[in-house]
């Protein structure tokens, strides 16, 4: 695997890539359903696994852009609780890819002031992968830059059920639970709600991702498969977000009346 061939420097304010960015209208929390790796590979006559490798390489660049934009949080969907249904060879390949990613990238992410966290049922992963996850999280836990959440063995329904279990175990008075403190029991307890949810490769569904956190997210569906979702395509999604009119049920920021 040639990892060093595609080093991508962190773009900063003033970089041509950021020319059209409205800095006052950036999302705080962006989530990405990194879909279409398999189809991308098949179109090229490659094994699906080659698509996953290409996807991981693009993810590295997307993270650099998120750092340059100084996003608060970037959450990516790497493996769902439903993805265990795939052929064992593909599951094994993905798990190996996650381990390799951590082995190769942890140091650089830490130098970039990234704080990594894994969301989902991490305790069901192989012990060797769990160890890598814990040591990467540990190494970066004091970092103050982008919070990079990697949803691995993650399901939105499962996360909500685990939250309910934590609440029951804590013995809290049921009447004291509200929308604000329920957040504290989720895997994303330290992050703001998702502002922008991106899904690549054309399908328009959540596939059990961040069900609670996307309650008021703006959705952006890109036709590109994730391995072709370049920094330019990512920036386009950020610019599109900057033009959205978010009302949260009210009228305050509305550009017109209900008739317009
Ligand atoms: C997304 O790409 C990566 C994972 C689910 C791990 P896919 O593997 O779902 O690719 P497609 O959607 O089959 O093309
Ligand atoms: C969602 O993609 C999961 C990840 C990107 C990790 P899938 O490819 O698994 O979703 P479906 O099966 O098309 O809904
Ligand atoms: Mg898919």
The per-residue DSSP string of 121-186 comes to -GGGS-HHHHHHHHHHHHHHTT--S-EEEEEEEE-HHHHHHHHHHHHHHHT--GGG--HHHHGGGS
Cα 31 to averaged position of ligand 2 atoms, centre (Å): 14
Domain assignment present for residue 76? The answer is yes
CA distances, 254 to each of 23, 147, 214 (Å): 20, 31, 21
Name the residue with the closest Cα to ligand 2, atom 3.
Answer: 80
In terms of Cβ atoms closer than 10 Å to its own Cβ (0-12, 13-18, 19+), residue 208 is: middle
Name the residue with the closest Cα to ligand 1, atom 1.
Answer: 35
What is the per-residue pLDDT for 119?
Answer: 98
What is the per-residue pLDDT for 58?
Answer: 98
Count up the domains in the chain and report the number.
Answer: 1
Which residue among 35, 187, 191, 195 is the active-site one?
A: 35
Domain assignment present for residue 191? The answer is yes
Task: Name 180's Cβ contacts closer than 8 Å, sequence gap at least 6.
Answer: none
Q: pLDDT tens, position by position, for the chain (260 residues)?
A: 444 456 899 999 999 999 999 999 999 999 999 999 999 999 999 999 999 999 999 999 999 999 999 999 999 999 999 999 999 999 999 999 999 999 999 999 999 999 999 999 999 999 999 999 999 999 999 999 999 999 999 999 999 999 999 999 999 999 999 999 999 999 999 999 999 999 999 999 999 999 999 999 999 999 999 999 999 999 999 999 999 999 999 997 555 444 43
User: With left for phi above 0 and alpha for psi between -120 and 50, is residue 45 left, alpha or beta?
Assistant: left
pTM, entire model: 0.95
Q: Who lines ligand 2 at CB under 6 A? A: 33-35, 77-80, 83, 203, 205, 207
Query: Is the shortest distance between the CB of 39 and ligand 1 below 6 Å?
Result: yes
What is the per-residue pLDDT for 257?
Answer: 43
Q: Which domain holds residue 127?
A: 19-203
Tokens 């704080």 belong to residue: 115
Tokens 């209900």 belong to residue: 258
What is the per-residue pLDDT for 254?
Answer: 52
Choose among 28, 5, 57: nearest CA to 196: 28
Domain assignment present for residue 163? The answer is yes
Domain assignment present for residue 217? The answer is no
Which residue among 15, 83, 183, 208 is the active-site one?
A: 83
Give me the CATH number covering residue 133.
3.40.1180.10
Neighbouring-strand partners of residue 31? 75, 197
Domain assignment present for residue 119? The answer is yes
Cα 130 to averaged position of ligand 2 atoms, centre (Å): 22
What is the per-residue pLDDT for 7?
Answer: 83
Choose among 198, 201, 204, 197: nearest CA to 228: 201
35 is catalytic: yes
Domain assignment present for residue 7? The answer is no
Long-range contacts of 86-94 (CB under 8 A, 24+ apart): 90/48, 90/49, 93/49, 93/52, 94/52
Choosing from 32, 33, 34, 38 the residue with most ligand 1 atoms within 8 A of its CB, the one to mutate for a pocket test is 38
Domain assignment present for residue 252? The answer is no
Could you give phi then psi for residue 11, rounded to 5 degrees? -75, 145
What is the per-residue pLDDT for 258?
Answer: 42
Query: Is the shortest distance between the CB of 86 and ligand 1 below 6 Å?
Result: no
């Amino acid at each position: 695997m040639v990892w060093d061939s595609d080093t991508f420097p962190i773009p900063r304010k003033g970089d041509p890539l950021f020319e059209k960015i409205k800095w006052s209208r950036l999302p705080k929390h962006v989530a990405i359903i990194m879909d279409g790796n398999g189809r991308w590979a098949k179109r090229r006559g490659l094994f699906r696994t080659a698509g996953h490798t290409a996807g991981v390489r693009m993810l590295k660049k997307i993270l650099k852009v998120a750092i340059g934009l100084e996003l608060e949080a970037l959450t990516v969907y790497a493996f769902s609780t439903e993805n265990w249904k795939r052929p064992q060879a593909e599951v094994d390949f993905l798990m190996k890819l996650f381990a390799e990613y951590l082995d190769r990238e942890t140091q650089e992410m830490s130098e970039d002031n990234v704080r990594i966290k894994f969301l989902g049922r991490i305790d069901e992963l192989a012990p060797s992968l769990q160890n890598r996850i814990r040591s990467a999280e540990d190494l970066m836990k004091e970092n103050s830059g982008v919070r990079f959440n990697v949803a691995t063995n993650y399901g939105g329904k499962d996360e909500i059920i685990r939250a309910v279990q934590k609440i029951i175990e804590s013995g809290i008075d049921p009447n004291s639970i509200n929308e604000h403190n329920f957040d504290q029991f989720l895997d994303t307890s330290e992050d703001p709600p998702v502002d922008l949810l991106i899904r690549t490769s054309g399908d328009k569904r959540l596939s059990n991702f961040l069900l609670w956190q996307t309650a008021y997210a703006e959705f952006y569906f890109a036709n590109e498969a994730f391995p072709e979702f370049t920094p330019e395509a990512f920036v386009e999604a950020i610019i599109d977000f900057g033009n959205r009119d978010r009302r949260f049920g009210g009228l305050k920021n509305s550009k017109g009346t209900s008739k317009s």
